[in-house]
Amino acid sequence: MMNRKDLLGIEDLSREEIEEILEVAKSMEEILERPIKKAPTLRGITIANLFFEPSTRTLSSFALAEKRLSADSINLSASSSSVLKGETLLDTARNIEAMEVDIIVIRHSMPGAPHLLAKRLEASVVNAGDGTHEHPTQTLLDLMTIRKRFSEFDKLKVAIIGDIRHSRVARSLILGLHKMGCEVTVCGPPTLIPKWMDVFKVGINYNIEEVIPDKDILYILRIQKERQDQSFLPSMREYIKYYSLTYERLKKYASPEIVIMHAGPMNRGIEIESRVADSEFSLILDQVTAGVAVRMSILYLLSRRKLNENNN
């Protein structure tokens, strides 16, 4: 990981690198448990958070991670950015880099945007979500959460339920789970599961009640209202009827050790019943906690490369 300039996707990472990130994240957790939640590790490192899509969770998670490690961080959001004035993404990023920014954390609505920057900039680029392509930091914090609960990944059975087609969370997660040796099944309406999904070597099943029984983890994806408007779904009502994770479904079909995960933000009552989200099965808040530690780990490992370079 320390030979990498950027973190663009789970696709590029080896299992060893993932393990490395999770190991370091464990140490980072300690800092979060101290009375003074700070270490001077990234002092002097400047990080720009370039978020072209709105986000509370990911942005604040990164911002906190940066501050915990004493980095200087600035937040730039799309609405206040020069992109509205017609400046290209590349020019915007170049200008930021010219102000001696070491790391750019970017969230963008289009696949490949971080890759464009990574190719052209000296600064390290971290993908905080690029359209429907990847969301690597989400997967890494998901893996950390899973490891804490299960300690072993091998042969864990995971079902990802929802709008697979439009989900960067799903794409990254499938890659990450496979690299760690888990078995993955995807479930959702046929219009929302691409025809070529089997190239990812996942099980495909359109029936949630068949999918739940032998699984260790149910990962629920957010469903967006727009899908109804675009004719992917006839109505939210129909989606709830067939795919909502209700307490009833859970009790009836799931193993008693089942664990529920969701990247958030949740649509309570739609893809997940409120009662389930708050139940003892849910690891949803643990995911959020893991998020800061994992992001600290990533920023630390990427910045080590720069420091190593400066030394040599």
| Smallest separation (angstroms) from other proteins to the CB of 35 | 7
Q: Looking at 32, 74, 78, 110, which residue binds other proteins (CB under 8 A)? A: 110
Under the criterion CB under 8 A, does residue 95 sit at the interface with other proteins? Answer: no
Which is nearer to other proteins, 38 or 241 (by Cβ)? 38
- Residue 255 contacts other proteins per CB under 8 A: no
CB of 132 to other proteins, least distance (A): 3
* Per-residue interface string for the shown chain with other proteins, residues 20-59, x marking contact by CB under 8 A: ---xx-xx--xx--xxx-xxxx------------------
Question: Under rule CB under 8 A, which residues in 152-211 are in contact with other proteins?
Answer: 166, 168, 171, 194-197, 199-200
Q: Per CB under 8 A, does 86 bind other proteins?
A: no
Stretch of 82-90, 203-211, 215-223, 244-252 lying at the interface with other proteins (CB under 8 A): 82-90
User: Exposure pattern of 22-36 as b/e (b: 16+ CB <10 Å)?
Assistant: bebbeebbebeeeee
Query: Residue count at the site for other proteins (CB under 8 A)?
Result: 45
Q: How far is the CB of 45 from other proteins (least distance, A)?
A: 11
As a whole number of angstroms, the distance between CA 281 and CA 259 comes to 5
Q: Is 231 in the site for other proteins (CB under 8 A)?
A: no
Bridge partners of 115, per DSSP, are: none
Nearer to other proteins, 12 or 209 (CB): 12
User: Does residue number 262 form part of the binding site for other proteins (CB under 8 A)?
Assistant: no
List Cβ neighbours of 63 (8 Å cut-off, separation of 6 or more): 49, 73, 75
Report which residue type is found at 297.
Answer: S
Main-chain phi, psi angles of 101, to 5 degrees = -90, 135
98's tokens:
């010219």
One-letter amino acid for residue 299 of the chain: L
Task: Give the burial string for 171-205 (b: 16+ CB within 10 Å, else e).
Answer: bbbbbbbbbbebbbbbbbbeebbeeebeebebebb
- What tokens were used for 149? 């609960």
- Where helices occur in the chain by DSSP H, the ranges are 15-33, 57-68, 89-97, 113-120, 136-150, 168-179, 208-211, 226-229, 236-243, 247-253, 274-277, 284-311
**Considering beta carbons, is residue 26 or 67 the nearer one to other proteins?**
26
Axis crossing angle, helix 113-120 with helix 89-97, rounded to the nearest 10: 50
**Region of 130-138, 150-158, 220-228, 261-269 interacting with other proteins (CB under 8 A):** 130-138
CB of 35 or CB of 256, closer to other proteins: 35
Torsional sign, CA 297, 298, 301, 306: negative
Residues that bind other proteins (CB under 8 A): 2, 23-24, 26-27, 30-31, 34-36, 38-41, 69, 88-90, 108, 110-113, 115-116, 120, 130-134, 166, 168, 171, 194-197, 199-200, 300, 304, 307, 310-311
